[in-house]
């Protein structure tokens, strides 16, 4: 598993925890930073996970507006927490990280949805992100 794939999982964990526990994401990040400091082999994945979480936090309003506009019949608040976090991560990568091609961001997000969410989530995530990718190219 690549360092970026591990980083996406770590970012998902942090965003999900903050959402479920209803605490500021930076509290979760601080705890993860302490753990990462004690495990030098996790440095590469930690740095990108932190970049993702910071990026999602900085651009959350824009990202949530896009997700809401393309998630037909779903509001951000009605989405399962894990799906919402996955969509935010991939949306940030497509919109604000030119190093990650949209198909890679979508593929990684669909994989996370298959692993951590419901049977229908991967199709939902794929559909929403496909529309966001089209938006990003226009």
pLDDT at 32: 86
Mean per-residue pLDDT over the chain, rounded: 93
The DSSP result for 55-93, as a single string, is HHHHTHHHHHHHHHHHSTT--GGGS-HHHHHHHHHHHHH
pLDDT at 34: 80
pLDDT at 101: 96
The structural domain count of the chain equals: 1
Q: What is the residue range of 32's domain?
A: 3-137
Taking the model in full, what pTM does it have?
Answer: 0.94
Q: What is the CATH number of the domain that holds 25?
A: 1.10.940.10
Q: What is the pLDDT of residues 6-62, one digit of tens each?
A: 999 999 999 999 999 999 999 999 988 887 777 777 777 888 999 999 999 999 999
- The closest of 60, 39, 36, 67 to 50, measured between CA atoms, is 36
Per-residue pLDDT, averaged over 75-88, amounts to 95
- Reply yes or no on whether the pLDDT at 76 is more than 80: yes
């Amino acid at each position: 598993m690549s360092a970026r794939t591990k980083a996406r999982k770590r970012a998902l964990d942090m965003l999900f925890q903050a959402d479920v526990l209803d605490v500021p994401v930076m509290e979760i990040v601080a705890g993860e930073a302490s753990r990462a400091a004690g495990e030098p082999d996790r440095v590469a994945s930690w740095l990108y996970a932190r970049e993702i979480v910071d990026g999602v936090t900085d651009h959350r309003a824009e990202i949530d507006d896009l997700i809401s506009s393309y998630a037909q019949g779903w509001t951000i608040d009605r989405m399962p927490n894990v799906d919402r976090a996955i969509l935010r991560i991939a949306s940030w990568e497509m919109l604000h990280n030119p190093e990650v091609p949209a198909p890679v961001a979508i593929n990684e997000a669909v994989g996370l949805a298959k692993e951590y969410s419901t049977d229908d989530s991967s199709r939902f995530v794929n559909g929403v992100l496909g529309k966001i990718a089209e938006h990003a190219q226009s």
